[in-house]
Amino acid sequence: MEYIVNMDSSVEEDMAMSWKPFGAKEESETLVDGVPPYMVNSVIDWMGQAELLLCYDENHYSCFDEMELDSRRRRSLVSEFDRKSRLDSYLYDANTKSYFRVKEHMNRIGLMYLDYLIEKLDELREDYDSSLVSGRMPIVDSAVEYLYEDLEKILSESGSKWRVGKRNGYCGLEERVSPMMQQIADELVESKSSASQLLSDAWHSMFGRNPDYSEAYATAVKSVEAVVLPIVEPNNKKSTLSKAAAVMRDQKWSFQIEANPKNNVNGGVIQLLMSAYNV
């Protein structure tokens, strides 16, 4: 099998065009869940490339050779997937390409296996970056990043509701949101503060493949507390968000929720968040 890493994607990006099928409506369409038929080939090809990078045969590889899949390492990869997913996928002895061409298999675990491969690629990259183990490919980091970008391109062009999320230790599929909301979240998380790390956890709980809305809300509150409490009540170690809200009301704090006044309500979402969480 052959694995080719395009080290210069700028040419491809420059040539890319926002092509739309003839007669398609201009307005945005509803994002789709799962792996629709028109996306199957691209997803299967991507899975094959990911498996190859994760399970290449180190005894038959040099920078001048084609990569070969190590079947033993690939079976180990699938066994771990079965254990962590608590499923008997029947993928252990199957060919990935043939297996996922069966609609039932793709519908049942396609996205789950995709999510798993994304995480394993990130583990591979971290292992390489931290230890620089002898025998590892010298282009691991670039290869993983290329695969992530390629998958995101597949998902985006297919109108998938899922995107590749890479944030504070979390690598996997997460729900696609509006570009403006995504940009705000990215900027906040990249600040590397304790609040940003909590916000990252909350985002993953909200938009990840296995959402936990209660956990997302609780962690979002903690992220706001990390910012608010040191400012409003720096000497009160037992303060909470609701207590801080009461102090702000008593001291007649004021702040703007929306740039456009007509979108403002009394305190807006922040007021609801700070008042509703009484811990």
Q: How would you write the pLDDT of the chain (279 residues) with one tens digit per residue?
A: 444 444 444 444 444 456 667 665 544 457 888 999 999 999 999 999 999 999 987 766 555 457 789 999 999 999 999 999 999 999 999 999 999 999 999 999 999 999 999 999 999 888 775 555 444 555 788 889 999 999 999 999 998 999 998 765 668 898 887 777 777 777 777 777 888 888 888 887 887 767 788 888 888 888 888 888 888 888 888 888 878 878 887 887 766 555 555 544 454 555 555 555 554
The pLDDT assigned to 271 comes to: 59
Instruction: List the structure tokens of 260.
Output: 């456009």
CA pair distance 177, 161, nearest whole angstrom: 8
For β-strands 162-167 and 170-175, DSSP reports them as antiparallel
Q: How many residues does the chain have?
A: 279
- Under DSSP, is residue 76 helix (H, G, I), strand (E, B) or coil? helix
CA pair distance 148, 49, nearest whole angstrom: 11
Distances (CA, A) of 211 to 157, 165, 168, 174: 24, 14, 17, 9
Instruction: List the structure tokens of 279.
Output: 């811990």
CA pair distance 244, 231, nearest whole angstrom: 9
The pLDDT assigned to 18 comes to: 64
The pLDDT assigned to 250 comes to: 82
Q: Indicate the pTM of the whole model.
A: 0.66
The pLDDT assigned to 273 comes to: 59
